[in-house]
Amino acid sequence: MKLIFLGPPGAGKGTLAVRAVDILKVQQISTGSIFRAAIAEETPLGLKVKSIIDAGKLVDDETTIALVKERLAKDDVKNGYILDGFPRTIPQAEALATFSTVEKVINFDIPDEGVLERLGGRQVCRKCGFNFHAIFNKPSKEGNCDHCGGEVYIRDDDKPEAVQKRLEVYRAQTAPLIDFYRAKGLLIDIDARPMVDEIVVNFKKALGI
């Protein structure tokens, strides 16, 4: 199955994606994770995007589209994928349609208060990308990932100023994709407020699996 996960920052796309990958046996492609890995490795891409991402802004469409196009050309995604964090603009969605055929778009529905609460406490594993939360889902040993032992840290773009900026960017540039995909009959709305186990149940029901 070829899926897009759409929704504001902090809606839980990445958290559900980890579960959905297991259920659907497809690869998760997270543009945010690819960018963060490039930053950590200080590759030319990483050096180019670091300040943009830390400020909560979007990487330019040309760079992002080229990255995803290259990734989707690989064999391991021939039968399916979950695109987490792409497309984030109408031009990205239009470009995607020229090199891949998306089957469904899962729209994570959550009010702004929910986003602020989640991003305010988010902690991420540097190694495997698992998302913890300072209140709702603490790592059992502070600073260490329960799944891989990696270092758990707070992303620079989860600082309050960057979070506000990301919400603004989401509303202006990404939210129009909801109508874009609804008009194509691809959109499935999922209430992103419950805990992840409940969302998994609703997700499977929505896909009829």
- For residue 116, give both structure tokens: 């602020």
- For residue 31, give both structure tokens: 């543009």
- The binder of 48, among Zn ion, ligand ADP, none, by C-beta within 5 to 8 A per type, is none
Question: At its nearest, how many Å lie between ligand ADP and the CB of residue 208?
Answer: 26
How many binding residues for ligand ADP (CB under 6 A)? 20
Q: Which of residues 126-185 bind Zn ion (CB under 5 A)?
A: 127-128, 130, 145, 147-148, 150
Hey, what long-range contacts does 191-196 have (CB within 8 A, 24 or more apart)? 191/109, 191/110, 192/7, 192/11, 192/12, 192/108, 192/109, 192/110, 192/114, 193/110, 193/111, 193/114, 196/12, 196/15, 196/16, 196/19
Q: Which stretches does DSSP call E strand in 47-92?
A: 81-84
Residue 88 sits in the site that holds ligand ADP (CB under 6 A) = yes
Q: Is 88 a catalytic residue?
A: yes
Could you tell me if 6 and 107 are in contact, meaning their C-beta atoms sit under 8 angstroms apart?
Answer: yes
- For residue 149, give both structure tokens: 């032992």
Q: Which is nearer to ligand ADP, 88 or 105 (CB)?
A: 88
Binding mask 12-51 for ligand ADP (x = CB under 6 A): -x-----------------xx--x----------------
From the list 82-90, 94-102, 108-116, 176-184, the region that binds ligand ADP by CB under 6 A is 82-90
Phi, psi angles (nearest 5°) of residue 123: -130, 135
Q: Is 155 a catalytic residue?
A: yes
| From 155, 159, 184, 204, active-site residue | 155
Q: Which of residues 115-134 bind ligand ADP (CB under 6 A)?
A: none
Could you tell me if 9 and 192 are in contact, meaning their C-beta atoms sit under 8 angstroms apart?
Answer: no
Residues lying near ligand ADP in the complex (CB under 6 A)? 9-10, 13, 31-32, 35, 52-53, 56-59, 64, 85-88, 92, 157, 166
Tell me which residues are annotated as active site. 13, 88, 122, 155, 166
